Amino acid sequence: MVRERVLDYEEAVLSIVNLIPAGKVLTYGDIAEILERGGPRQVGAVMSKGSADVPWWRVLRADGRLPQGLESTAVGHYREESTALRTAGRSAGADGTRVDLRVSRWNPNPAQQRDLQRIRAALAAGTAGNSFSPAGLSEADDGVGP
């Protein structure tokens, strides 16, 4: 017997970040909208914890500015992944670089949209199925508890 594991907001945010393909990005607000919970600040709070296991550079402010204090590291990732960049005015990164959201914003295909819907539903229900990774997130029922 397999029991579904509890999913919290942080896990849901990080699960979405892990689904963003190389060369694509989402904004903090995009992620909050997908989850139908919280807002850009709540997503930013999760991302600020600095999980090295997720592609943090793929989550940006709504104006495409590079992650503050991590610009040079992020630019390396963007160039490696062929993420579309553009040069903007003084409000952009130190050298005026921003991610071109018109080109680089992730537009999930139908299968990816179903994965995102499962994450949202799992958060809403407080449990997660096996939609977060190929191996899934279910855990064996040890017979203890409900």
What are the structural domain ranges in the chain?
2-129
Does the pLDDT at position 43 exceed 60?
yes
Does the pLDDT at position 9 exceed 80?
yes
**Tokens found for residue 56:** 């943090």
Is CATH 1.10.10.10 the classification given to domain 2-129?
yes
Contacts of 34 (CB under 8 A, 6+ apart): 16, 26, 116, 119, 120
- Is the entire prediction scored with pTM above 0.75? yes
> Which carries the bigger pLDDT value, residue 78 or residue 124?
78
- To the nearest 10°, report the CA torsion of 62, 25, 115, 146: -70
Residue 95: other Cβ atoms inside 10 A: 10
User: Given this model, what pLDDT does residue 136 score?
Assistant: 38
CA distance between the termini of the chain = 13
> Which carries the bigger pLDDT value, residue 140 or residue 29?
29
Contact 10, 16 (CB under 8 A): no
